[in-house]
Chains A and B, each alone.
Chain A
Amino acid sequence: MDLLFLRAARTRSAPVRASLCVMGLGQMMCRQWVKGLLYLAALGAFLAYLVIMGGADIAGFFTLGTHEADPWLGTAGDDSILMLLRGLLAFGIIIAVILLYRSNLRDILELDRNIKAGLTPPPFVKSLRSFFDRKFYVAALALPIAGVIVFNVVPIVFMILIAFTNYGGNNVPPALVDWVGLENFGRILALTEIKDTFFRILIWNVIWALSSTFLNYFGGLGLALLLNKKCVKGRRFWRMFPILAYAVPGFITLLAFKFLFSYGGPINYYLTQAGRNAVGFLDIDAGIKARLIGLGVNAWTSIPTSMLLATGILSNMREDLYEAASIDGASKWQQFLKITLPFVVFSTTPVLITNFIGNFNNFGVFYFLRGGLYMDGYFLASDTDLLINWLYNLSIDNNYYSIGAAVSLIIFIITSVISLSVYVRSNAYRKEDTFR
């Protein structure tokens, strides 16, 4: 236990020792009835929860079930995945109660100190008001943090836990699932086919993420700069087109491009009409063609976002900087490199990182353009699949959920390391006040 607990244990005060043993008891001894009862009720509810279901949920988390259901006979059994979730909830509740217990100790120590100093403890409502006043940020952030925990943290932890089970294949409810430790990671690295496929796709995935982020970012910036030029007539009109491309749902655009490049599509139609042979832009032999088309199509759907962002940032540029640079003899290219680019990059580094992660995990482009191919040398994947597509093939198409979870955990680690290391080295982080 931590310092707070040791401090409370060393205190020779009956109320403190009472609260140390039973949450809220000391507060009641100090006639803080409401607060004490609330702490006590929380403890009671927790113990009741442990007796009624919490204990079984924690045990179930470790066993993941012992009795298999038989739907034919209508006999109930254990649902391993539900048990995993309920175990997760039980640990969450235990952590919440530990935090509450710490707040109970902190409160009784402060109460004891105040009483010894001859101060009268404030009534419950007044102390509540005082708390909200002193720690408004806690009250304001409580709900969003709860939302983040429920909708972000729990699914991520659940996915991480799945990576350590044998969930998938033949082990899906009503069959029972077991913990298998690091076996899934071992399979990814030990089975030759899977290992080779993983590293091949990983290399392509990194190249894809870097090049598509570069292309989209500078494509958007270039377009924004072009449409910012005063000499361009009808700028609002021209800006409308990228926005239209942005407004069309992504998968519709991708399916349209798939048709465009298919053998029955208009490009091949005109090629054959012109006496040329049809080109398999996206077929099994496409190779680099399919990858370049993917980059282009992704640029088509993403450049409008970058353009809108850059347009907003460019509107805040100070004209006098360019005037001064012109007087000093700087060329347009030098002005771009020394003034525009640093300003835009500084403002958009976090967006750049999210774009990189978005592109790293860009599922739609190759799923819609070139899904349904398993190539030689790849295990359940093709040469254009990204890790996220492979993950889909494994976990959804082939029901290998645990292997899919292990792959997604690896993706998570890679993207986290890259994005965090880039961010902490960026000017946006290190020189936060520079452009203010």
Chain B
Amino acid sequence: MKQIIRMTALALALLLLCAGCGRGSSAPTGAGTAPVGPSEPIVLHILENDTAKAEGYLDALIAAFNEAYAGKGIQAVDANMDEYTDLALNGPYGYGPDVLYQANDQLMKYAEDRHILPLAIEELDCYESTPEAAWDAFRLSVDGSVYFCGVPVNIQEPMLFYREDMMPENWQAEWDDDQNGTADFFENWCDLYAYSASIRESDPARYGFMASLNNLYLASPFMLSYGSYIFGEKDGAVDPSDVGFSAGNAVNGLSALRQFAALMNEGCIDDTITLNRYEKLADGSYFCTVSTPDTYSLFVGNLANHYMGEGMGEDEARARAEANLKMIELPAKMPADGDLSQDSAGAQWVDTVVMGGVNGYGISSYTKHREACMEFVDFATGYEMIQTRVEMLGIAPTRQDVAQVSGDTADMIFDSLASGRICLMPSVKAVDQIWTPTQTVMGDVAKDPFRAAQGEPQKYGTTEALQAALETIDKNVYDAIHTLAG
């Protein structure tokens, strides 16, 4: 018995010793402000897009910031992550950038779940010079309160790229009815259609306007110009339960898309034209195509290569390519009834509406240095850095003071934004669900003219069929967002 008591005492002593080895405290998962020693600089991890990195803008930005803040103990470094790194997955566990540059739809999907911070935008240098429409891209309504979770840097929309030397020689006489110095086919879609048809008639191997018609962003004029919308609004906030691709006279736009597809080739059904547009524009197969402003250098590069292939020197080829390649907005007028084949002289018009986006900076909610991040964003959206960005990357800045001196493109895009001709991508995470349903239906409708050529029955020969297709988009988008949402 004594032995049992002695052993039990020994066991208890050991247990207490083990149990007392340290009561671990669990680290909080939320962000706090980490104490930083006086000799230890605050290091901010900056995530920029690949183009900014490739063109050296991120290096220039970091160098300028580090020089300016050398005495304040703040240092910026490249986050060295994929440009679409998932902050929602990585941020809560201490990974991910402190500051990130993304398009408004990407940035704001994080804002909904509070992965990026609401910002005191009034304190920023760019606040006054940035238009309200650009700030709205980063607006978030929560329980009746309005927050801004991003700082606009530049705006994007699909643009028309063409070779000036492929304009018809007599365009001023034949294609400028209003004699305003701009060819009619750059002003309205009926004349662009007519000119594309004339090119096909003169040479079946050449095309006029070419685009991947299954791409909602690039072919957005056909989807958004007739009173349709992506998501509705409720109480001043985006309402993803109201999907509106079939709203208004949207069917006229889809009919126009189907009509224009007949002047293209089957490449418009998938992403073939998106992939070959640089090369085909350069070799003259396409008269014009659609792309975003940040691809301008790719078009110029391909055209320069084409000239070099003809025996021209590199510098001369580059200079000629830059002079010959033009980037303008898509034609501003679409026929109200969606019939592109009508004479433009008697046509009724609606404004062309394209899809656009605002890129900007956001601050991760999981950063340990919120104030330092705000300093960085203020610096990066300051006049000088935005001007540098314009010079190095050719962007259209949202800062109006920079836009006024940076050229026509920014002015054009600004005017369109102000007049409602740019429909900004909704700043909600539900926007992720719009792409595949629209791609499927737009590709299917674009295929219709080619079905006839193959002796197959056409699927979208009636207005009812086109309307049903649009309603299918609405339904699929709604289902993707809500059916399983719980």
Is A288 positioned at the interface, with any CB of B under 8 Å from its CB?
no
A69 to B365, CA, bound (A): 11
Q: Chain A contacts of B273 at CB under 8 A?
A: 264
Contact present for A277 and B450 (CB under 8 Å): yes
Contact present for B267 and A193 (CB under 8 Å): no
Contact present for B18 and A41 (CB under 8 Å): yes
Contact present for A372 and B266 (CB under 8 Å): no
- Within the complex, the shortest CB–CB distance from A349 to chain B, in Å, comes to 39
Q: Which of A47-55, A148-156, A206-214, A238-246 contacts B (4 or more CB under 8 A)?
A: A47-55
A168 to B483, CA, bound (A): 12
B 366-405 binary contact with A (CB < 8 Å = 1; else 0):
1000000000000000000000000000000000000000
Contact present for B269 and A187 (CB under 8 Å): no
Interface residues of A (CB under 8 A from B): 14, 18, 22, 24-25, 28-29, 37, 40-41, 43-45, 47-48, 51-53, 69-77, 79, 166, 168-175, 187, 191, 193-194, 262-264, 268, 277-278, 280, 283-285, 372-376, 379-380, 394, 397-398, 400, 403
Contact present for B29 and A79 (CB under 8 Å): yes
A70 to B143, CA, bound (A): 15
Residue of B nearest to A393 (CB): B436
Partner of A48, one of B19, B115, B447: B19
Q: Chain A contacts of B15 at CB under 8 A?
A: 40, 43-44, 47-48
Interface centre among A14, A45, A71, A397 (most CB of B within 10 A): A71
Residue of B nearest to A404 (CB): B484
Q: Chain B contacts of A372 at CB under 8 A?
A: 436, 439-440
Contact present for B29 and A72 (CB under 8 Å): no
Contact present for A25 and B8 (CB under 8 Å): yes
Q: Chain A contacts of B41 at CB under 8 A?
A: none
A194 to B114, CA, bound (A): 31
Q: Chain B contacts of A73 at CB under 8 A?
A: 30
Is B345 positioned at the interface, with any CB of A under 8 Å from its CB?
no
In the A-B complex, the 7 residue pairs with the smallest Cβ-Cβ separation, listed nearest first, are A76-B28, A44-B18, A264-B272, A71-B365, A263-B266, A76-B30, A48-B19
Interface centre among A41, A45, A170, A372 (most CB of B within 10 A): A372
Can you name 29 A-B residue pairings with CB atoms under 8 Å? Answer: A14-B3, A22-B11, A53-B24, A53-B26, A69-B29, A69-B30, A69-B92, A71-B91, A74-B33, A77-B29, A168-B484, A169-B485, A170-B485, A171-B486, A172-B88, A173-B92, A174-B114, A175-B113, A191-B483, A264-B273, A280-B269, A280-B447, A373-B436, A373-B439, A374-B436, A374-B440, A376-B472, A379-B479, A380-B480
Residue of B nearest to A400 (CB): B484
Partner of B437, one of A37, A40, A374: A374
Contact present for A394 and B484 (CB under 8 Å): yes
Is B234 positioned at the interface, with any CB of A under 8 Å from its CB?
no
With A174-B92, A283-B269, A398-B484 as given contacts, are A40 and B14 in contact (CB-CB < 8 Å)? yes
With A79-B29, A373-B440, A403-B484 as given contacts, are A285 and B114 in contact (CB-CB < 8 Å)? no
Is B265 positioned at the interface, with any CB of A under 8 Å from its CB?
yes
A278 to B266, CA, bound (A): 7
Q: A47-B15, A168-B484, A400-B484 are in contact. List 15 more A-B contacts (CB 8 A).
A: A18-B7, A25-B11, A52-B24, A71-B366, A72-B365, A73-B30, A79-B92, A169-B484, A172-B113, A175-B113, A191-B483, A262-B270, A283-B270, A372-B440, A380-B476
Q: Chain A contacts of B92 at CB under 8 A?
A: 69, 71, 79, 173-174
Residue of A nearest to B370 (CB): A74
- Within the complex, the shortest CB–CB distance from B381 to chain A, in Å, comes to 21
Contact present for A278 and B436 (CB under 8 Å): no
Partner of A174, one of B113, B266, B479: B113
Partner of B444, one of A18, A174, A284: A284
A37 to B91, CA, bound (A): 44
Residue of A nearest to B31 (CB): A74
B 404-445 binary contact with A (CB < 8 Å = 1; else 0):
000000000000000000000000000011001101100110
Interface centre among B3, B267, B436, B439 (most CB of A within 10 A): B436
A52 to B480, CA, bound (A): 43
Tell me the count of chain B residues lying within 8 A, CB to CB, of chain A: 62
Dominant secondary structure of chain A at its interface with chain B: loop
Question: In B9-54, which residues have CB < 8 Å from any A CB?
Answer: 10-11, 14-15, 17-19, 21, 23-24, 26, 28-33
Interface centre among B14, B30, B366, B472 (most CB of A within 10 A): B30
A71 to B367, CA, bound (A): 10
A375 to B439, CA, bound (A): 11
- Within the complex, the shortest CB–CB distance from A61 to chain B, in Å, comes to 15
Is B332 positioned at the interface, with any CB of A under 8 Å from its CB?
no
Is B68 positioned at the interface, with any CB of A under 8 Å from its CB?
no
Q: Chain B contacts of A373 at CB under 8 A?
A: 436, 439-440
Is B275 positioned at the interface, with any CB of A under 8 Å from its CB?
yes
Q: Chain A contacts of B432 at CB under 8 A?
A: 397
Is B117 positioned at the interface, with any CB of A under 8 Å from its CB?
yes
Q: Chain B contacts of A24 at CB under 8 A?
A: 11
With A44-B14, A398-B484 as given contacts, are A18 and B447 in contact (CB-CB < 8 Å)? no
Contact present for B114 and A71 (CB under 8 Å): yes
Question: In B331-389, which residues have CB < 8 Å from any A CB?
Answer: 365-366
Contact present for A72 and B118 (CB under 8 Å): yes
- Within the complex, the shortest CB–CB distance from A24 to chain B, in Å, comes to 8
Question: In B208-230, which residues have CB < 8 Å from any A CB?
Answer: none
A402 to B394, CA, bound (A): 44
Contact present for B4 and A29 (CB under 8 Å): yes
A400 to B433, CA, bound (A): 12
- Within the complex, the shortest CB–CB distance from B413 to chain A, in Å, comes to 29
B 76-90 binary contact with A (CB < 8 Å = 1; else 0):
000000000000100
- Within the complex, the shortest CB–CB distance from B464 to chain A, in Å, comes to 16
Q: Chain A contacts of B453 at CB under 8 A?
A: 277
Contact present for A278 and B450 (CB under 8 Å): yes
